[in-house]
Amino acid sequence: METKKQYNYVLSQGFVLRGGKRDYVVEQVLGKGGFGVTYKVIGHVDVDNIDFDAPFAVKEYFPDICSREADNATIKVPETKQRDVAEGLKDFVNEARRLQETCKLNHNIVNVNEVFEANGTAYYVLEYLGGGDLRKRVKESPDKALTEQQMLELMLPVGKAVQCLHENHILHLDIKPDNIVMRKGRKGAPDEPVLIDFGLATHFNNSGVPTSMTPSQGISAGYSPIEQYSLLRQFEPRLDVYAFSATCLYLLTGKDPAEALSMPAFFDDSIIPSNVSERVRQAIKHGMSKEKDFRTPTIKKLLEELQGEKGEETILINVQSANVVDANKTIESHRKYPYADNNLKDEKSDHRSMQNQSRAGKSNKKVVKKNSIKASKVKLLHQEMMLALDHKATNKTLKLWAISLILSIVGFFLLMYAVAKIGGCENSGSEPSRGSDSTAYEEQWQQQSVPASYASEEYEQAAEAEPAIEYQYSEEKTAAE
């Protein structure tokens, strides 16, 4: 058993959990995360008149902010976090019961036996899978990587399990090699992969809104898409599509993918081994697109791409009047980058349209198979699309730079104008500066300080009025005498 130095506040070896169906004796800790601890336990099983002990896995709800009481069993919750822990506990129980029903719909989902509450928290009991996870399987392979066929044999059943979850409005949110464990085959059957660890799994209602009170937040570097780094607010299957595709990539390369934040804008498929088929290469590329709008929208469509088309679909094209190359371009551009535009029509509708055009032409017709397009033509179309996107991005950058430059120039001139205006206002009431031209200075001074009307007309009128005033005064004096 792992020591408490590595796992704090875990149940001790030999501790007996009182479940609803049976008692479980803790044998070892399998793992511990931010919201729970997983144990390997031994339970007593009765089958008719035969009794035996069987291994199980038990998941305990135990947030990392909690500790244990003196009995080393009952969880102790900080007073300030009691409401959050209570809501999380309720979500844990609901998700466990939902998983208990969902696992019955697909045998590649880990089976849940029972859900019970004890020690102030909740537990659910799972089947114990001792076959090792996919990471261990890759490391033990001779080439430290799997072949395309081996990868498909493992991942296609898991993809069906994920599809089942999505159909029931559940996102797993933590698909990776460590969470796909092999179940020992029964009656000589080969081992089969099983999807485990639903610690981040979230259920959504019919409106696409999470039903849990505490939103799930958690990432696995290299397997979580960039939008999972923010708060999850709506049902988005593309989250699991990315993680599933990244897991396929790991199985083929033996290396964990780069973290989504450091991924280039467009996925570089050169990291995929050269012996991988173009079909699988493009499926992984679509599934791991950094921008979700360019990503494969559903796990069902991703599985269709990985498996290839079922059967040979044929198109009737008039050799004389129809342009076969254009028809091929239409098909391949949709197949090569089918999710770049949400308004793209389905390939089948394009096929029917071309069939109608071919039937309207002359009678000389030829059957052209969809799979006859050469890989070089597909690559050329992709390169053209990438160049167009790069050109568009470059034009946008240049436009933004030009606008920024124009705004800077306008701002500079406005600043200079404001400075000049302020300077003019400060100098308007002061004595004008004396320059080299004294005449100009005198004229400027007269205009500024002594109005011409006051110096000429008003002064003369005042001078003429003065003798009249004196004469009037002398007459008044004589009359008085």
Which H or E run contains 36? strand 36-47
Asked whether residue 449 is domain-assigned, the answer is yes
214 with 318, same domain? no
Q: What is the pLDDT of residue 141?
A: 95
282 with 296, same domain? yes
Asked whether residue 448 is domain-assigned, the answer is yes
Asked whether residue 336 is domain-assigned, the answer is yes
The CATH number covering residue 138 comes to 1.10.510.10
Q: In sequence order, which ranges of 74-182 are alpha helices (DSSP H)? A: 82-102, 134-140, 148-167
Query: What are the percentages of helix, strand and coil residues in the chain, rounded to 5?
Result: 50, 15, 35
Asked whether residue 431 is domain-assigned, the answer is no
Give the count of domains, the chain. 4
95 with 215, same domain? no
The domain boundary, picked from 349, 373, 397, lies at: 373
The domain boundary, picked from 288, 308, 328, lies at: 308
288 with 157, same domain? yes
Q: Could you tell me the residue range of the domain that residue 332 belongs to?
A: 314-373
256 with 291, same domain? yes
Q: What is the pLDDT of residue 11?
A: 95
In the DSSP assignment, the letter for residue 179 is G
Q: What is the pLDDT of residue 348?
A: 43
259 with 167, same domain? yes
123 with 146, same domain? no
Asked whether residue 213 is domain-assigned, the answer is yes
Q: How far apart are CA 383 and CA 385, in angstroms?
A: 5
296 with 326, same domain? no
Would you state the structure tokens that stand for residue 39, as one six-digit string?
């144990």
The CATH number covering residue 81 comes to 3.30.200.20
SS3 474: helix
Strands (E), 96-144: 112-118, 121-127
Q: What is the pLDDT of residue 183?
A: 94
Could you list the pLDDT tens digit for every one of the 481 residues in the chain? Answer: 444 447 889 999 999 999 999 999 999 999 888 889 999 999 999 888 899 999 999 999 999 999 999 999 999 999 999 999 999 999 999 999 999 999 999 999 999 999 999 999 999 999 999 889 999 999 999 999 999 999 999 999 999 999 999 999 999 999 999 999 999 887 778 899 999 999 899 999 999 999 987 777 789 999 999 999 988 889 999 999 999 999 999 999 999 999 999 988 888 889 999 999 999 999 999 999 999 999 999 999 999 999 986 433 323 333 333 344 444 444 444 555 556 554 344 444 444 444 444 444 444 444 334 444 444 444 445 555 555 555 555 566 667 777 878 888 888 888 888 888 787 665 555 444 444 455 555 555 455 544 544 445 555 555 555 555 555 555 555 555 5
145 with 208, same domain? yes
98 with 142, same domain? no
Asked whether residue 5 is domain-assigned, the answer is yes
What predicted TM-score, i.e. pTM, was given to this entire model?
A: 0.66
290 with 151, same domain? yes
The domain boundary, picked from 355, 373, 391, lies at: 373
Angstrom distances, CA of residue 166 to CA of 71, 271, 280, 318, 386: 41, 29, 22, 43, 32
Q: How far apart are CA 12 and CA 72, in angstroms?
A: 8
Asked whether residue 415 is domain-assigned, the answer is no
181 with 103, same domain? no
Asked whether residue 399 is domain-assigned, the answer is no
